[in-house]
Amino acid sequence: MRMGQTAAAIGSLALLAACQNAGAPSASLSINSKQKPVQAVASIARTAQKCWFKSGDKNFSGIRMSNEVNSFSGRPRFLLVKRSDPNGLPLLVVQAEQKGDATSGSFTNIQTFGPLLQTSNGKRITDDVKRWSRGSGECKA
Q: How far apart are CA 55 and CA 73, in angstroms?
A: 31
Determine contact, residues 41/3, Cβ cutoff 8 Å: no
Cα Rg of the chain, angstroms:
19
CATH of the domain spanning 25-133, picked from 3.30.310, 2.30.30, 3.30.70, 1.20.120: 3.30.310
Q: So what's the pLDDT on residue 84?
A: 95
Q: So what's the pLDDT on residue 101?
A: 82
The domain limits of the chain are: 25-133
Q: So what's the pLDDT on residue 7?
A: 39
Averaged pLDDT score across all residues of the chain: 83
Nearest Cα neighbor of 52 from 133, 121, 135 is 121
